[in-house]
Amino acid sequence: VAQRIHEIFSMADADDSGSITYEEFEAEIADTDSELMRIFEKANINSTDASGLFFLIDSSGSGNIHLQQLVECIVRLYSPPRSIDLLTLMFTCKKSFQNLTSASDLLMESLDYILTRLDRGQDQNVEAIKQKHQVIKSRQFVSWREMKENQMNNLDG
């Protein structure tokens, strides 16, 4: 199977760059008789869904996908989701939302502080504003660092 996917990948890689661009991918799935489209259709993925699939595969946002990424995608399409995978996804989404909410709260707190200082005509005290900003910024950094570490741990697990 992997060999066949490699052959399909090579055919789609029109410029022989070792990766498939979005345009090359689109050209391949536009041909409903292409082997790649047949693979997707067997997994109940139509051409519109397949087009969006490119952006899921290209998680780095580089505009290119590599053979290994395509193989992993196809294997996952044909593998039923395990309960632990769904549970991990659910908790990762929940934690990400909580972290995003915390970051948003910190941003609002910072903005409120600055606006309050400006409303009181105390904007000449730049040092106090800078100190408060540093405190808020350090709290935000810790929250984002923790979120990133949690995401990496979830990916490793």
pLDDT of 107? 81
Residue 95 token pair: 């934690």
**What pLDDT, on the 0 to 100 scale, is given for residue 113?**
79
Cβ(24)–Cβ(15) under 8 Å?
yes
pLDDT of 127 over the 70 cut: no
For residues 154 and 95, give the distance between their C-alpha atoms in angstroms, rounded to a whole number: 11
What is the three-class DSSP state of 94? helix
Instruction: For 68-94, write each residue's pLDDT tens digit.
Output: 999 888 888 888 888 888 888 899 999
User: Nearest 5°: CA angle at 148, between 99 and 49?
Assistant: 85
Question: Residue 46 contacts by C-beta under 8 Å, 6 or more apart in sequence?
Answer: 40
Residue 125 above 70 pLDDT? no
DSSP state of 62: S
Residue 144 has pLDDT above 60, yes or no: no
Q: What is the pLDDT of residues 40-71, one digit of tens each?
A: 998 889 888 988 999 999 988 899 999 899 98
Q: Residue 157's pLDDT band (boundaries 50, 70, 90)?
A: very low
Question: The tokens 């996952």 sit on which residue?
Answer: 76
